[in-house]
Copies of this chain bind each other. A is one copy, B any other.
């Protein structure tokens, strides 16, 4: 049976989603626990994630699928997994999926949320999930610049991999920037994202907010297809994968 899982995690202490030998990753942890459940080696568990999140990035709604041969209900699988997973990884939902369901190929959209904090009062309890800013950037300027990034573009300048051989054309449907009580949240929705793309978009918009890049510079940065013209990659800890869309 092919199962679809929704997974949430605090990425702080992991080397990202994707399995790596001798590294602690979310996929690796899932392979261990589901392998134990299925009485298989972890390496036999083919868990397909909707995408990869980088080291330190969080998720509230990562989706993955895995074919398993177990005599258990979805609820039993969920309870088993949550019991054996560490307390910073949770399976939120287990559903039986069609044989052909593929968490990556079938994904048609993703929502990421990036949270910054520029308030005067030091916050304690969400410190691992926000990026602290020294001062408040100009949100109007960032919103103007963000509008020019929405749409279908070649995002080569916003990709961490300069030798990307496949197409770097992506469609971004929405970049919403909200300022509230010292927090700034960037909600980005698109059909797919390049390596570090959301973090480079946020890093570039923050440069605009601080007046170091002009608000009308986005079209020329896109056109140049040069990573060096965009801003720095914003830190991983402010980023969270919120949701993956399927038909």
Binding site for B on A (CB under 8 A): 8-10, 58, 82, 87-92, 121-127, 129
Contacts and interface: CB of A to CB of B under 8 A. Distances in A.
Interface centre among A82, A123, A125, A126 (most CB of B within 10 A): A125
B10 A90 contact: no
Nearest to A90: B122
Contact of A90 (B90, B92, B121): B121
B125 A10 contact: yes
Contacts of A122: 8, 82, 90-92
Contacts of A88: 124, 127
14 contacts: A8-B124, A10-B124, A10-B125, A10-B127, A58-B125, A82-B122, A87-B127, A88-B124, A88-B127, A89-B124, A90-B121, A90-B123, A92-B121, A125-B129
The oligomer's copy count stands at 2
* Secondary structure of the A contact surface, majority rule: loop
A8 B121 CA distance: 10
A122 B8 CA distance: 9
A237 to B, nearest CB: 11
A131 to B, nearest CB: 13
Contacts of A90: 121-124
A179 B88 CA distance: 24
A185 to B, nearest CB: 15
Nearest to A88: B124
Contact of A124 (B87, B123, B125, B126): B87
Given A10-B124, A90-B123, 10 more contacts: A10-B125, A58-B125, A82-B122, A87-B124, A88-B124, A88-B127, A90-B124, A91-B122, A92-B121, A125-B129
Q: Which 3 A-B pairs have the closest CB atoms?
A: A90-B122, A82-B122, A87-B127
A198 B241 CA distance: 38
Contacts of A82: 122
A116 to B, nearest CB: 15
